[in-house]
Chain A
Amino acid sequence: MYNLTSRRAAGALAVAGAATLLLAACSSSSGSSSSSSAASPAGSAAASSAAAPSAGASGSPAAAGASCPSGTTIAFVMGAEADPFFKAMKVGADAEAQAKGVTLVWQGDPSVYSPATQIPIVDKVLATKPSGLVLIPTDPSALQPANDQAVAAGIPVVNVDTHVNDQSKVTSWITGDNNDGGAKAADALATAIGYQSGKSYQVVVGLTSPTATTNTARLAGFKAQLAAKYPGIKIMDVAYSQSQPSVANTNVSNWLTKYPNLNGIFAIDGTNATGAAAALQAKGLTGKVALVGYDAYPQNVALIKSGVFTALIAQDPAQEAKLAIDDLTQVICGKSTAGIQKAVTIPNVVLDKTTSAADLQKYTYVQ
């Protein structure tokens, strides 16, 4: 009952499968080159006048004595509550709010980072008439009206991490410098592989998505630093993990096979770091291939000691929150904007074997 038709169809399946592969192969070059021309983020040029990473204690000029009346409330609307990055930020915000004697109202969607869920939250928060607002806009355009509405109601606003398009009405924008983090990763990688000019080295980069702004900023900083200081280091491949460590693991496992002389890996965020670390351990290449990761998840921080990670680049969300609270209390209670800068970038921190235990603990993201 199975005649020629099904046989022909079977053949077609084989041919078409192979044809698709060919098609994929042909367009590969265009695919990978496009990512290299990713626009360098506007933030990279921003004044980085911020305190040094160790400046946690020094604080901002606002510390100068403005005491707040009881009932002063600062609303903090962030992106997604479940993200360890924001959890770490909350620790900093809580501590500083307590120090300044203000009430902190911490709000945000439990898990979704989206303007659709954030806008109603901002509206609800504004209805309670807080004294000040810290806003992490999940979209620069979509949150502009809510942002301006707050200012119009006499509520001062500070943007943290991300910002709205028109910052003329915003008291300050405080963010981590991802571009600088990428450059630091390049330095750490070059040091780990013992870079000598004139020699050539191979590295790969694991990304999460082609559009995430933190990813593109870190990659741009990484590439710029390689071009400026380490021209012998060549990026052989990049791939995307879609936030899944197992996908990152597959990518890195195959790269380790494909490039037997691979010198280093830059894992651009926490999930890529986790996947790459497991691949190195499974292939027995710990210490033989340098691995610079990003984000101080506790389990990755633990792997610095065992040498799986050459270095981890960490952001300092607690410090960002602290500065934001300081600025707002100064404006609300001190009635002054003196010394407050419109844009502050806090450099990322390098964690490696030389980092003290206390600092490791300080920068490890809270879970």
Chain B
Amino acid sequence: MAASAPAAHPKTASRLRELVSNQTFVLFLVWIAMVVFFTAANHIFFSSDVAGNILADWGPLMLVATAETFVIISGGIDLSVGAITGLSGVVAAFAMQDMTTAGQGATLTLIVGLLVCIGVGLLVGLINSLLINYARLVPFIATLVTLGAGEGLSIVFTGGAPIGGGPPQAISLSVPWLGPFSTPVLVVVAITIVCWLYLHKAKFGRYTYAFGSNSFATRAAGISTKKQITKIYMLSGLLSGLAGMFFYLRLGSGAPTTGAGLELDAIAAVVIGGAALSGGVGRLSGTIMGALILTTVTSGLIIIGVAPNWKQVVVAVLIALAVSIQALRRGEGKAS
């Protein structure tokens, strides 16, 4: 029963081996390769301006991908993140339009808009968790319901058109000022760090992994899985709502189509980042790289003049490879 600890390796060699087997590091190398490739194809790619463009796409994707990371590690899936992004942006846009028309100041209006986005996100997240906990729907179906309802409501509310008329300062907030970083992007970076700490260092993350790894064991250990599900899906809603505000600041309006299909990009980023849809596995650092790779491909293809539809092909190849690496590793894990 007792197994001796593995024989000590020379420190540097084992560290190197760890790096190479680390999905995040591999993705980092892939990303570097992409940057080199795009720069070789068009030197203008290697500029702060393009980095700013990439980060402007990365910000909202990272928010929903972070949400999806928690959900997927818990063994669930949240298809409603994109719909929440669109709906919260639209509802906030109406609120900000009203306040601006009524002559309210920009700062107060934007704060209210932010709170509305957070509120809409939390509300839909709560509905998701109620559907899962009490209506006993599996997460796929529960969030498919809210995806449909959310997208539908966005179109009904807006009549299909973007809603502007908010504070004219909105777009200027999205202008990069710290190198390629704009204020919203810096906020996303800060949120990502906090989420990383809570996923990997705190009880909330521990229970998220435990639930995805073995929900029976988690319940048997006396942990309330209903509470944990509620927290996870409300966090997912909250982050998606923040993505809605991010898009509002970027476009100066809330569009009902914003966020359509964003859930697929988020899931792609998480899966490329090394998480398993079966739950219990994944790192937020992998998701960070996954999201960065996706958005780098988007801008890169535009800069080198390739039809952006090729992005889907690149993403498909990356997903297939990321998943097969996982399968290879699992095989090794069993063998050793």
Contact = CB atoms under 8 A, between A and B. Distances in A.
Q: Do chains A and B touch in the complex (CB under 8 A)?
A: yes
Interface of A: 1-3, 5-7, 9-10, 12-14, 16-18, 20-25, 27-28, 31-32, 80, 82-84, 87, 110-111, 237, 239-240, 242-246, 249-251, 253-255, 257-258, 270-271, 274-275, 277-278, 281-284, 297-300, 302, 365-367
B307 A278 contact: no
Contacts of A283: 175
Nearest to A365: B161
Given A21-B314, A25-B304, A84 B160 contact: yes
Contact of A257 (B20, B44, B163, B306): B44
Contacts of B158: 82, 367
A32 B298 CA distance: 16
B336 A31 contact: no
Contact of A253 (B53, B247, B300): B53
Contact of B251 (A16, A28, A275): A275
A124 to B, nearest CB: 22
A282 B164 contact: no
Contacts of B44: 257-258
B37 interface: yes
A243 B329 contact: no
Contacts of B163: 299
B113 to A, nearest CB: 15
B165 A250 contact: no
B159 A367 contact: yes
Given A18-B37, A278-B251, A281-B171, A302 B165 contact: yes
Interface string B304-316: 1111111001100
Interface string B55-81: 011001000000000000000000000
A5 B332 contact: yes
A282 B171 contact: yes
B264 interface: no
A239 B37 contact: no
Given A17-B321, A246-B60, 16 more contacts: A5-B328, A5-B332, A6-B21, A7-B20, A9-B325, A12-B321, A16-B317, A20-B313, A25-B304, A254-B50, A257-B50, A257-B53, A274-B253, A299-B162, A299-B163, A299-B253
Contact of B252 (A14, A22, A258, A278): A278
Contacts of B306: 24-25, 27-28, 31
Given A16-B321, A82-B156, A244 B255 contact: yes
Interface in B31-57: 33-34, 37-38, 41-42, 44, 47, 49-50, 53, 56-57
Contact of A274 (B21, B155, B251, B303): B251
A1 B253 contact: no
A14 B313 contact: no
B17 interface: yes
B231 interface: no
A290 to B, nearest CB: 19
B151 to A, nearest CB: 9
Given A6-B20, A7-B20, A18 B159 contact: no
B160 A254 contact: no
27 contacts: A10-B325, A13-B318, A13-B325, A16-B317, A21-B34, A22-B37, A28-B305, A31-B307, A32-B305, A80-B160, A82-B156, A87-B159, A110-B156, A239-B302, A243-B257, A245-B255, A245-B258, A250-B53, A251-B308, A270-B161, A277-B252, A281-B171, A282-B174, A298-B161, A298-B164, A300-B164, A366-B159
B250 A246 contact: yes
Interface of B: 17-18, 20-21, 26, 29-30, 33-34, 37-38, 41-42, 44, 47, 49-50, 53, 56-57, 60, 152, 155-156, 158-165, 171-172, 174-175, 247, 250-253, 255, 257-258, 260-261, 297-310, 313-314, 317-318, 321-322, 324-325, 328-329, 332-333, 336
B162 A270 contact: yes
A7 B25 CA distance: 11
A81 to B, nearest CB: 9
Contacts of B314: 17, 20-21, 24
**From A17, A237, A281, A283, residue with most partner B Cβ within 10 Å:** A17
Contacts of A257: 44, 47, 49-50, 53, 303
A253 B297 CA distance: 15
Interface residues of chain B: helix, strand, loop or mixed (majority):
helix
**From B17, B156, B158, B162, residue with most partner A Cβ within 10 Å:** B162
Given A13-B322, A239-B302, A367 B260 contact: no
B250 A282 contact: yes
Contact of B258 (A21, A244, A367): A244
Top 6 A-B pairs, shortest CB-CB distance: A299-B164, A2-B21, A24-B310, A1-B336, A254-B302, A31-B307
Contact of B26 (A10, A16, A284): A10
B159 to A, nearest CB: 5
A14 B161 contact: no
Contacts of A253: 53, 56
A17 B317 contact: yes
A148 to B, nearest CB: 31
Given A5-B332, A245-B258, A250-B57, A14 B30 contact: yes
A9 B325 CA distance: 6
B255 A251 contact: no
A110 B20 CA distance: 53
A258 B165 contact: no
A18 B33 contact: yes
B328 A6 contact: yes
A138 to B, nearest CB: 16
A166 B306 CA distance: 40
Given A24-B314, A31-B306, A84 B161 contact: yes
A164 to B, nearest CB: 25
A310 B327 CA distance: 55
B328 A9 contact: yes
A257 B336 CA distance: 51
Contacts of A281: 171-172, 252
Nearest to A254: B302
Contacts of B56: 250, 253
Contacts of B49: 257
A271 B161 CA distance: 8
Given A32-B305, A250-B299, A299-B253, A14 B328 contact: no
